[in-house]
Amino acid sequence: MYINSGYWHQTRLDFKDKKHPLFIGSCGTYRLYTVKRLPTHRPRGRLDYQLLYVASGKAHFYFSGEEKIISAGNMVLYRPKEEQRYYYYAAEQPEIYWVHFTGNNVKNILRKYGITDDTSVIYSGVSMEYKRLYLSMIQELQMKREDYEELLVHYFMQLLISIHRQILVKPRKKNLMLMDEMDRAVDYFREHYNEAISIEAYAADHNISVGWFIQNFKQYTQTTPAQYIQSLRITNAKLLLETTNYNVSEISNLVGYENPLYFSRFFKKQCGMSPVQFRKQLLAADAKNSDTT
């Protein structure tokens, strides 16, 4: 199981903040590999809010005792003191992002962005932008640089704006066959991102035009197929840099780049630093966190 998370003041205890309109307490992500099942049950809930994003696969949530299977492209919102019960199964390849937040004006902020008081499941669509925002919050909570608490709120507000835009366009996206087609494409790219993928060949294999596919894929994910594949490669390269001792050439090959030099240049363009620098930054952050615990 892969876990990446960050906590305000390094505490996992939930809390209620009354001083700020909005305050971010923690953020993280889960991916199940070896662990077959990951259950969570908080009968009395928490003191804060939680917003979970199902980025890939499926997850099982319970609302008022009734199970609901939530697939990729949806978010789940839990409110303070609401029972939380959900399960992840490795066989369904879930990739989950979560953030806990609190504050004295959260209800009004959520309402402003189209999330009503009775909303539990939010159709968000699949977007690499959501991942970027969650990962940015995780990084800020881990590194705790100057003004990070304000930046956390900034990232979270960007997330709410992205969700609101998707809520507003939802009525124009009721074509379930189209959504299924895009879901299949997302799953295919996620499973084969490190192989040589031809967008033209994929479209031909599914009897759809290249232009139609790219246009609808971009509407569904807010990115083109090629950009989505590149984002998957960079995301998984970051994971390998953080969790393995593979060198840059090995990682380049594992995520689908035959030329390590091209991979390093593209990684730097996307991340603002080379793979080597990225790994050094992670090691420095881990050492700093170890010193303060």
Region 265-286 average pLDDT: 87
Task: Give the pLDDT of residue 98.
Answer: 97
Residue of 24 and 290 predicted with greater confidence: 24
The answer to whether residue 290 scores a pLDDT higher than 60 is no
pLDDT of residue 173: 46
Residue 167 has what pLDDT?
Answer: 79
More confidently predicted of 10 and 18: 18
Report the distance separating Cα 242 and Cα 74, nearest Å. Answer: 27
What totals of helices (H) and strands (E) does the chain contain, helices first?
10, 10
Nearest to 202 by CA among 175, 229, 173: 229
Query: Is residue 148 a contact partner of residue 140, using CB atoms and an 8 Å limit?
Result: yes
pLDDT of residue 168: 78
Instruction: Examine the pLDDT at 260 and tell me if it is beyond 60.
Output: yes
For residue 217, pLDDT over 60 is answered with yes
**Mean pLDDT, residues 169-197 taken together:** 76
pLDDT for 176: 62
Question: What pLDDT is stored for residue 214 in this prediction?
Answer: 94
pLDDT at 128: 80
The two structure tokens encoding residue 88: 């992840």
Which CA distances in Å does 154 have to 10, 23, 50, 137? 20, 10, 17, 9
- What does DSSP assign to residue 195? S
Q: Which has the closest alpha carbon to 131: 91, 165, 104, 96?
A: 96
Task: Quote the CA–CA distance of 268 and 36 in Å, as a whole number.
Answer: 35
184/212: higher pLDDT: 212
pLDDT beyond 90 at 263: yes
Identify any residues that bridge with 42 across adjacent strands, giving them in sequence order.
84
Predicted pLDDT at 286: 66
Q: What pLDDT, in 10s, does the model give residues 155-180? A: 999 999 999 988 776 544 446 677 77
CA-CA distance, 293 to 286, in Å (whole number)?
A: 11
Rounded CA separation 282/19 (Å):
32
The pairing of strands 58-63 and 84-89 is antiparallel
Number of other CB atoms surrounding residue 174 within 10 Å = 8
Cβ(73)–Cβ(124) below 8 Å? yes
pTM of the model: 0.68
Of 238, 240, 210, 206, nearest to 225 by C-alpha is 210
Higher pLDDT, 235 or 59: 59
What would the pLDDT profile of 43-99 be if each residue is shown by its tens digit?
999 999 999 999 888 999 999 889 999 988 899 999 999 999 999 998 888 999 999
What's residue 181's pLDDT?
84
Output the average pLDDT for the chain: 89
CB 72 within 8 A of CB 121: no
Give residue 175's pLDDT. Answer: 62
